[in-house]
Structure 1
Amino acid sequence: MGDTGTGGDDRSGTGGQRAGGGRPTSRDVARRAGVSQAAVSLVLRERWHGRVSPARADAVRAAARELGYRPNQAARSLRLGRSRTVLVVVPAAPNEFFARVHAGASGVAAAADVGVVLYPSPGGLGRAPDPFASASATLDGVLASSMAVETLEQLSEGGLPLVMLDSEPLSGPAAATVNPDIAAGTGLVVDHLLALGHRRFAHVAADVPSWTFGVRARVLRDRLADAPGARLLARERGPLTVAGGLAAAGRALAATPRPTALVCDDDTMAAGACKAVRRMGLRVPEDVSVTGFDDLALATAVEPELTTVRLPAEELGAAGLRALLDVLAGRPGGTTVLPVDLVRRGSTAPPPATA
């Protein structure tokens, strides 16, 4: 390269304005400084030493200042393979819990200057299609909530770091796992109902083959097996909807003897269970106690309000995003377990004396 410019005729306007208007580009800087665009890139990335003369480097910096040029960081990140963007994958079904998980993850991402792309997986708990033709070229990592490992196969096959939420600890391709303490939460429900005097239980279970619902079923079964006189009379499955809870609870209440406590896998199913109790001419909680899980807004919208397990949804998303940032920074992953609480409300009471 020579050290002389190309003359003033090729220079675009001043004060950050291009001759044709609009945002200045690296080509405008190159023209003003009398160098190639490659030289502009080298100088602005501080990789010019030994490749561009000091005089030319000074000219590039001066031209950039005069034009008000700022590099396109998004385009540069894509070229370098570092987009500072993560994918948050959640089940496609609308659910307040996942909205809160996303909010928690987004807050941590914003503080770390990381972008978040939300992807509701249409595959549910099955194999999900890759949301991008080449996700590894545009993303840094994946945070996936309450999904089977198989759902993330295509993304993980592309080599993207993966952190799982509410999923089997460190299973499959996951580099880290963050879970609410599902086992402890189920134990709190069972202990609460046993302390009230209940011995006849039914499980209104989500018809979803995932780790989190498997843990709820296992802990409920094991706790009741260890409690003198307690029995699990029925385990009825249904979709994670009010209608699903209504149908499953109706079948459970048909058992003989009738259960006095319905343990539901989430608040939505519990709302349906309350409807099933009333449709049989019974009362909640005088005749049948009902419990939920998650502590959604719905838990206080029904009457009586639901006794339920409060999951830290926002903190789950935040802790998951922090774990993913740690993995991207080269720090070792692991399993984080977040504490949960039992919220006692009006849907539980001692069983009727006739029980």
Structure 2
Amino acid sequence: MARVAGVSQATVSLVLGGKWHGRVSERTAQAVRDAAGGLGYRPNLAARSLRLGATRTALLVVPALTHEYFARVYAGAARVADEHGFGVVLYPSPAGVGPARDPFGSARAAIDGVIASSMAADALTGIGDGGLPLVMLDSDPGVPGGPPTVNLAVADGMRRITRHLVALGHRRIAHIASDVDAWTFRVRTDAVAAELAAAGLPAPGRFVSALHVTAGRDAAVRALSAPGPRPTALLCDDDILAAGACKGARALGLRVPDDVSVSGFDDLSLATALDPELTTVRLPAESIGEHGMTALLALLAGRPAPPVELPLTLVPRASTAPAP
């Protein structure tokens, strides 16, 4: 590999070991990576683990394997991990609250660190006896002495979508809210209420739902059938709930968006499969996975991992329109 890249064996070792920054140029590092790819090189992780006393494996814990968002988070984390000779094992802990079962019996012997997405911090105490380096994604950043966090600007995203509906003239907005008691959903509820209050509008009716289409449909029917003036917009905590809300509106003979606007949150593939296509907020899922793995690598190298917050993007589409 050194001959193909035109460099020394020491340089190859630095690049493949992820220790080249500040010691060789990006051009040289890329030449080594190109040579490795051309030769079909794959590191012997078992041998390296024995030599270094580390597994070079990270565990990514998520609440669900079936949700597209977490698949994208994994893709981002795995890409960064691969660049540094690490692997990522994906592990579901559906409840999102602790303690999660240690998938290895003794995680300290099998993995070097943990990345947890949309989980409660105390849910991880059972993995490696809580003694492994830990990075939290989409988690409360205000926990004193807590692990490093990589978060989404969830509150700003909810403010943006609320302002979008208010700008369209909606004054009666119902919030179809997730029933999951997690930081990310509590932030959404607070942001919607605060934004409507700032606009001089009443607090939204809040209709709690499990995170699946049928439950979202039922919550939307409750919201649209409740006593008093009917809401002109349904603001949903995620795209899956929004898909259910569209079905609920149609079940009552209402048209989206002519009679009622519907918004989501996530920008899943589902958002453009719906008709009309869904107004939503785009989450940089792969980017949060990349930043999470980068933070874990910093911890493992003894470097600081400062908190990160990633911006979100409002994506207006045809499911929202001026209030009737």
User: TM-score scaled to structure 1, two decimals?
Assistant: 0.76
Deviations 1:21-54 (A, max 9, x none): xxxxxxxxxxxxxxxxxxxxxxxxxxxxxxxxxx
- Rounded to whole Å, the distance in 1 between the matches of 2:242 and 2:60 is 28
- Rounded to whole Å, the distance in 1 between the matches of 2:117 and 2:171 is 34
Amino acid across the alignment from 2:155:
A
Contact 1:200 1:261 in 2 (8 A): yes
Match status 1:141 vs 2:113: yes
For 1:143, what is the secondary structure of its paired residue?
strand
Alignment of 1:171-186 (within 5 A): 171=143, 174-186=146-158
Deviations 1:201-249 (A, max 9, x none): 1110011000000000000011111112x22341011111101110111
Offset of residue 158 of structure 1: 4.0
Contact 2:98 2:125 in 1 (8 A): no
**Per the alignment, do residues 191 and 253 of structure 1 end up closer, same or farther by CA in structure 2, a change over 3 Å counting?**
same
Hey, what does 1:217 align to over in structure 2?
189
2:46 to 71, 74, 82: 74
Alignment of 1:100-139 (within 5 A): 100-139=72-111
For 2:125, what is the secondary structure of its paired residue?
helix
- Rounded to whole Å, the distance in 1 between the matches of 2:176 and 2:53 is 47
Amino acid across the alignment from 1:333:
A
Contact 1:170 1:335 in 2 (8 A): no
- Rounded to whole Å, the distance in 2 between the matches of 1:77 and 1:140 is 10
- Rounded to whole Å, the distance in 1 between the matches of 2:134 and 2:145 is 7
Hey, what does 2:240 align to over in structure 1?
268
- Rounded to whole Å, the distance in 1 between the matches of 2:145 and 2:129 is 9
- Rounded to whole Å, the distance in 2 between the matches of 1:328 and 1:156 is 15
Match status 1:298 vs 2:270: yes
Amino acid across the alignment from 2:263:
T
Contact 1:286 1:349 in 2 (8 A): yes
1:168 to 118, 136, 140: 140
Offset of residue 128 of structure 1: 1.1
Alignment of 1:241-252 (within 5 A): 241-252=212-223
Hey, what does 1:157 align to over in structure 2?
129
Hey, what does 1:317 align to over in structure 2?
289
Deviations 1:280-316 (A, max 9, x none): 1111111111100000000000110000000000001
Amino acid across the alignment from 1:96:
E
Contact 2:168 2:323 in 1 (8 A): yes
Hey, what does 1:189 align to over in structure 2?
161
- Rounded to whole Å, the distance in 1 between the matches of 2:219 and 2:59 is 35
- Rounded to whole Å, the distance in 2 between the matches of 1:143 and 1:152 is 10
**Per the alignment, do residues 345 and 216 of structure 1 end up closer, same or farther by CA in structure 2, a change over 3 Å counting?**
same
Q: Which has the larger radius of gyration?
A: 1
Offset of residue 79 of structure 1: 7.2
For 2:277, what is the secondary structure of its paired residue?
coil
Amino acid across the alignment from 1:169:
P
1:328 to 277, 300, 306: 300
Amino acid across the alignment from 1:249:
A
**Per the alignment, do residues 73 and 290 of structure 1 end up closer, same or farther by CA in structure 2, a change over 3 Å counting?**
closer
Offset of residue 254 of structure 1: 1.6
For 1:151, what is the secondary structure of its paired residue?
helix
For 1:231, what is the secondary structure of its paired residue?
coil
Contact 1:81 1:138 in 2 (8 A): no
Offset of residue 121 of structure 1: 1.5
For 2:203, what is the secondary structure of its paired residue?
strand
Offset of residue 124 of structure 1: 3.6
- Rounded to whole Å, the distance in 2 between the matches of 1:208 and 1:254 is 24
- Rounded to whole Å, the distance in 2 between the matches of 1:201 and 1:166 is 26
Count of paired positions: 281
Contact 2:154 2:188 in 1 (8 A): yes
Offset of residue 154 of structure 1: 1.3
Offset of residue 139 of structure 1: 1.1
- Rounded to whole Å, the distance in 2 between the matches of 1:285 and 1:162 is 44
- Rounded to whole Å, the distance in 2 between the matches of 1:127 and 1:207 is 20
Match status 1:289 vs 2:261: yes
Contact 2:116 2:134 in 1 (8 A): yes
1:235 to 206, 210, 224: 206
User: TM-score scaled to structure 2, two decimals?
Assistant: 0.83
- Rounded to whole Å, the distance in 1 between the matches of 2:276 and 2:44 is 56
Hey, what does 2:225 align to over in structure 1?
254
**Per the alignment, do residues 172 and 125 of structure 1 end up closer, same or farther by CA in structure 2, a change over 3 Å counting?**
farther
Offset of residue 170 of structure 1: 5.5
**Per the alignment, do residues 208 and 243 of structure 1 end up closer, same or farther by CA in structure 2, a change over 3 Å counting?**
same
- Rounded to whole Å, the distance in 2 between the matches of 1:143 and 1:196 is 40
